[in-house]
Amino acid sequence: MNFGWNLGNTMDAQCIEYLNYEKDQTASETCWGNPKTTEDMFKVLIDNQFNVFRIPTTWSGHFGEAPDYKIDEKWLKRVHEVVDYPYKNGAFVILNLHHETWNHAFSETLDTAKEILEKIWSQIAEEFKDYDEHLIFEGSNEPRKNDTPVEWTGGDQEGWDAVNAMNAVFLKTIRSAGGNNPKRHLMIPPYAAACNENSFNNFIFPEDDDKVIASVHAYAPYNFALNNGEGAVDKFDAAGKRDLEWNINLMKKRFVDQGIPMILGEYGAMNRDNEEDRAVWAEFYMEKVTAIGVPQIWWDNGVFEGTGERFGLLDRKNLKIVYPTIIAALQKGRGLEVNVVHAVEKKPEEPTKTIKPTKPTETTSPEESTKPEEPTGNIRDISSKELIKEMNFGWNLGNTMDAQCIEYLNYEKDQTASETCWGNPKTTEDMFKVLIDNQFNVFRIPTTWSGHFGEAPDYKIDEKWLKRVHEVVDYPYKNGAFVILNLHHETWNHAFSETLDTAKEILEKIWSQIAEEFKDYDEHLIFEGSNEPRKNDTPVEWTGGDQEGWDAVNAMNAVFLKTIRSAGGNNPKRHLMIPPYAAACNENSFNNFIFPEDDDKVIASVHAYAPYNFALNNGEGAVDKFDAAGKRDLEWNINLMKKRFIDQGIPMILGEYGAMNRDNEEDRAVWAEFYMEKVTAIGVPQIWWDNGVFEGTGERFGLLDRKNLKIVYPTIIAALQKGRGLEVNVVHAVEKETEECWSEKYGYECCSPNNTKVVVSDENGKWGVENGNWCGVLKYTETCWSLPFGYPCCPHCNSLTKDENGKWGELNGEWCGIVADKC
């Protein structure tokens, strides 16, 4: 073995609290924010001389009840596929049990734990019985007495006994299994897999089996490598070296000196913007463990930014090594040839001032010359009916500022970490600029405030959170767009009479602070009182409500209106949005909605994912075709909105709508144009719900690839532009160029360009199905967008200017196009 890599926060992710495992057993793979695993991820690392891959895997939620504890077939199949990616490329693979909830090291639960462990490992052993020595099983991950004082301090007698007993069951189970399992190499951990004298001294290691390996984790020195609180350091100094050497000597004494093979199953040093120090540490650590014959496996959880544990090495989406100096250090420390490939290209220094490239064309003016004027702050005294006439169409920054992860994020430590906790990247101004370039001019910023404000009676919003919300609002606002700010996934404003008084109190306090923060902003900033207020977890939650729910929603809307109108600055003239019950397009909801008659700056906020089976339904009855029945359903919804609002002179905005991806871009484009034409005819702006999700089995409403700043479905954007009566001009779109049809030589046509669904893969390529026949799925390569203008694409990412075509850099004294997907 050279050195290894952990596929962290992926197959081990567990989201039982909010994922429906019965509906989709494999959705958990991406629920902690990492992309779906591909073979190419491993190939990039293999090219960089990694040859050991640990696949941390959580089985809880994926197996049935006693006595069989049968593993779900779909989950086992997916685990098998992931194991095969590195295994079939000649690498070593370690498969384990990871974040389990049933194998904590307590005597009272030990019998059940042993029973489950035996059943689970029996099934895994049977599944992989014919695999050779390149597949290693690891009995468990860091088994310990969770939530006790000895959890991370080396354990106690109860914990040691439990861990040793579970290790024994694991060894016996695999050795009793068929196929190659009696000769399989196995890994077992001491208590908590901890590099600790107590843990080591009380670890029972078999003397009669020469195919067992000790599994130890050592993030050392702690303050440099892992500590994220008081005492953390970003320098690898002499004290750090002594600490690390002490840990290595402890491992050497317990295992290597006693002839026991050992693998460092997890190690790493988190990113603190200190790549140089981490590289020095990596080389030093690797040299020391290489000298005693121990392989190391880096813990990569896919996290690069934020305040959590940032152990990412590989950008899995773009297949790039993010910290090449660290990889080079590992190679050097292991005594290998230093050769880092697939690395992120660092931006070079700007060209010297003596280089004066010729301007590409007269139309490619710098960004600054076409930038819209910033709002003045002087609010116009116009009605909402007049205001919404200025809106084209809009976009929701979904699953971002509204994300809430109170269950596992430490909000006290970092108030802004929630922005990325549902898997979307940190918001940037460029995201909005891409959409503005495509004629979007309304942006809704769904924002959850729960977890970000204090106790009664003030309910004071955290300053850092309010500052970050302000920054995000400014991105589109200062570019001349309309912005809608709201309260989103709140836990305190459900529409129940028993909680109404408290909800009104909190609502008044929160909106008073928001109104004060933005009091000088003009009519381009709109406040929306709440999002889909309803009687959660009741039979009437989504069916239009009942008297209790209607009364509660109307009462909260009234408090919201009064609060903003009583605030200072421009707030008495601010345009406000209020929803009916659940913001639902429903007759009961509409008929029981109280809308003010004495305020011409209030807008009704409605959500309509219609027709339901085409747009939103993800279960039985879902369809991927927008047919005549779908059109009738959609028209019924639009007529309902028209009758309740437009015909009564009430301005309305469709605050959320969309149709999820079902590999049906063409049908979604037809639907988008039809829907846009109909609502344009009645004067209603629409705001697409984009949650940043493009694949998987959940709600896939993504339009913008926020990381690479690309429009993923340009035909849908074109349809929106056309349906709104605007000039059709889609820019910043994903560029796809098909290759020659590779499958013709095997007697099959290639799939149509929009059909990229892979049914099966073999040594020839990826295969799909069309019209009942096999077809070859076409591969795509990025084209150089600047060639039509007479300029090559840049081999670097150093942008000098930008125009409507893209970003421009310099190469050999002439312009070159910046390739966004690489930068």
Active-site residue flag, 656: yes
- What is the number of domains present in the chain? 3
For residues 295 and 286, is the Cβ–Cβ distance under 8 A? no
Read off the pLDDT band of 779 (50, 70, 90): low
CA dist., res. 555 & res. 533, Å (int): 11
Runs of H (alpha helix) within 365-461: 367-370, 384-387, 429-437
Q: What is the CATH number of the domain that holds 758?
A: 3.90.1220.10
Query: Dihedral of CA 14/15/17/22: which sign?
Result: negative
Between these two residues, 526 and 791, which has the higher pLDDT value? 526
Spatial contact of 462 and 452, defined as CB atoms under 8 Å apart? yes
List Cα–Cα distances, 137 to 42, 94, 305, 810, in angstroms. Answer: 19, 6, 32, 52
Share of the chain above pLDDT 90, in %: 79
Does residue 800 fall inside a structural domain?
Answer: no
d(CA 740, CA 128): 38
Q: How far apart are CA 767 and CA 778, in angstroms?
A: 9
Q: Are both 254 and 326 inside the same structural domain? A: yes
Instruction: List the catalytic residue out of 138, 283, 419, 656.
Output: 656
Assigned domain for 382 exists: no
Alpha-carbon dihedral 191, 193, 198, 200, rounded to 10 degrees: 110
Q: Does residue 415 carry a pLDDT above 90?
A: yes
Asked if 712 and 741 sit in the same domain, the reply is no
Q: Are residues 664 and 758 in the same domain?
A: no
Dump pLDDT digits (tens) for 751-777. Answer: 765 455 567 777 788 887 776 778 887
Q: Is the pLDDT of residue 354 over 80?
A: no
pLDDT tens by residue, 372-399: 445 656 899 999 999 999 999 999 999 9
Residues 453 and 586 in one domain: yes
pLDDT at 360: 38
The residue whose two tokens read 């500052």 is 467
What is the arithmetic mean of pLDDT over 16-43? Answer: 88
How far is the C-alpha of 751 from the C-alpha of 770, rounded, in Å?
Answer: 7
- Over residues 633-642, the pLDDT tens digits come to 999 999 999 9
pLDDT in tens, 485-525: 999 999 899 999 999 999 999 999 999 999 999 999 999 99
Residue 115 pLDDT more than 70? yes
Q: What is the largest CA-CA distance in the chain?
A: 87
For residues 769 and 683, state if they share a domain: no
Strand partners, 690: 397
Predicted pLDDT of residue 348 = 40
Note whether residue 531 is domain-resident: yes
The helix (run of H) or strand (run of E) holding residue 685 is none
Q: What is the residue range of 760's domain?
A: 737-781
Name the pairing type of β-strands 525-528 and 773-776. unpaired
pLDDT surpasses 70 at 814:
no
The per-residue pLDDT for 367 is 35
In this predicted structure, the answer to whether residue 366 has a pLDDT above a threshold of 50 is: no
In the chain, pLDDT over 70 holds for what percent of residues? 91
Domain limit, last residue, from 765, 781, 797: 781
CB 270 within 8 A of CB 278: no
Residue 62 burial (C-beta neighbours within 10 Å; 0-12, 13-18, 19+): buried
Q: Give pTM, 2 decimals.
A: 0.53
Let me know whether 308 and 397 are in one domain: no
**What pLDDT score does 769 carry?**
75
Asked if residue 663 and residue 766 are part of one domain, the reply reads no
The domain that contains 705 carries what CATH number? Answer: 3.20.20.80
Given the DSSP bridges, would you call strands 807-811 and 814-817 parallel, antiparallel or unpaired?
antiparallel
Token pair of 725 as six digits: 């009566």
What's the mean pLDDT when you consider all of the chain?
90
Give the model's confidence band at 437: pLDDT under 50 very low, under 70 low, under 90 confident, else very high.
very high
Same-domain check for residues 607 and 670: yes
The DSSP secondary-structure symbol of 468 reads H
> Looking at per-residue confidence, does 296 or 758 come out higher?
296
Confidence of residue 352 (pLDDT cuts 50, 70, 90): very low
Domain match, 17 and 118 both: yes
pLDDT in tens, 308-332: 899 999 999 999 999 999 999 999 9
Q: Indicate whether 763 and 639 sit together in one domain.
A: no
**Where is average pLDDT lowest: 37-51, 563-577, 753-767?**
753-767
Which stretch of 125-134, 387-396, 639-648, 811-820 has the lowest confidence by average pLDDT? 811-820
Q: Please report which confidence band the pLDDT of residue 556 belongs to, taking 50, 70 and 90 as the band edges.
A: very high
Question: H helices of 255-305, where?
Answer: 275-291
Q: Which of 413-417, 436-440, 537-541, 785-789 has the least mean pLDDT? A: 785-789
Per-residue pLDDT, 822:
52
Residues 233-255: what's their mean pLDDT?
Answer: 95
Which pair of tokens denotes residue 137? 């099983």
Residue 743 lies in a domain: yes
- What are the structure tokens assigned to 446, written together? 């769904």
| 398 found inside a domain | yes
pLDDT digits (tens, 9 = 90+) for 587-606: 999 999 999 999 999 999 99
| 719 and 743 assigned to the same domain | no
Given a cut of 50, whether residue 545 has pLDDT beyond it is yes
| Count of residues in the chain | 823
Residue spans of alpha helices (H) in 350-456: 367-370, 384-387, 429-437
Question: Tell me, what's the pLDDT at 624?
Answer: 94
* Same-domain check for residues 492 and 557: yes
Which helix (H) or strand (E) segment is 301 a member of? none
Among 29, 419, 523, 532, which one carries the catalytic annotation?
532
Domain-located, residue 264: yes
Domain end (from 695, 723, 751): 723
Rg of the chain, C-alpha, whole Å: 29
pLDDT of residue 349: 38
The token pair at 393 is 């169409």
Distance of alpha carbon 425 from alpha carbon 446, whole angstroms: 15
Instruction: Answer yes or no: is 553 within a domain.
Output: yes
Query: Which pLDDT belongs to residue 755?
Result: 52
pLDDT value of position 798: 67
pLDDT at 364 over 80: no
Give 154-189 pLDDT, tens digit per residue: 999 999 999 999 999 999 999 999 999 999 999 999
pLDDT band at 750 (very low <50, low <70, confident <90, very high): confident
Residues 331-351: tens digit of each pLDDT: 999 999 999 999 987 544 333
Residue 437 lies in a domain: yes
